[in-house]
Amino acid sequence: MEWFVKAFLKSSISWLGLGVTLGVAMAVHPQFIVYRPAHVHMNLLGFVTMMIYGVAYHVIPRFTGHQLRNRRLAAVQWWLANAGLLLMVVGFCLAPHAVSAAPVALGAGGVLSATAAYCFVYNIWRTIDGAQHPAVRT
Ligand code: HEM
Ligand code: HEM
């Protein structure tokens, strides 16, 4: 298994652990519901999306019989996705306290997270199509 596949699977379950912990905190202490967007994105962008990234990078090359189009891009995407989500969570947690850095963290994190998603779209799309020239694949 590629290291970035393992890294996506482990970051996915780590975000699940963090996300459900915040969920329980919100359930027992309703004032924490101001952090709901952080909970939602830890679970949906962290757990669900990163699980899909990791599983897709493992199975789609096997289903299609094509090598992954760009392994280095998948590794870069792991960093973008995790740094992006971390910044988004910081932004979502600071926003209810009117901290002026909150929109900056949220905006930067959102751009990184979206860039990660675009990398995935490109890499999987081109993998499904298969490369014309296998020698140039990285
Ligand atoms: C132990 C597990 C969990 C607990 C205790 C928990 C708890 C909560 C609480 C207290 C809320 C706020 C509800 C409100 O606004 O009144 C909430 C919202 C939400 N949770 Fe969780 N949660 C858990 C796991 C998850 C998971 C695994 C996901 C997704 C995969 C998830 C997705 C959401 C979503 C999307 C919302 C927002 C719903 C809305 O917009 O109305 N939660 N959760
Ligand atoms: C680049 C990635 C993403 C960005 C920048 C982003 C940004 C946002 C923002 C700014 C909000 C409004 C939060 C608020 O009410 O203050 C929001 C809400 C929400 N997003 Fe995302 N999002 C992203 C990806 C996703 C994904 C992939 C999912 C689901 C798979 C998702 C599910 C939701 C849900 C369910 C809400 C409503 C939250 C609530 O009930 O409080 N988002 N998102």
Cβ(10)–Cβ(2) below 8 Å? no
- The yes-or-no verdict on residue 136 having pLDDT over 60 is no
Instruction: Give the type of residue at 109.
Output: G
> pLDDT value at position 126?
97
Output the residue whose Cα is nearest ligand 1's atom 34: 40
Atom of ligand 2 nearest to the CA of 116: 1
What are the b/e assignments for 101-121, b being 16+ CB within 10 Å?
Answer: ebeebbebbbebbeebbebbe
Tell me the C-alpha distance between 17 and 2, whole Å. 23
Cβ(121)–Cβ(66) below 8 Å? no
Mean pLDDT, rounded, for 24-47: 98
Q: What is the pLDDT of residues 51-73, one digit of tens each?
A: 999 999 999 999 999 999 999 99
> pLDDT value at position 132?
58
Cβ(138)–Cβ(80) below 8 Å? no
- The yes-or-no verdict on residue 135 having pLDDT over 90 is no
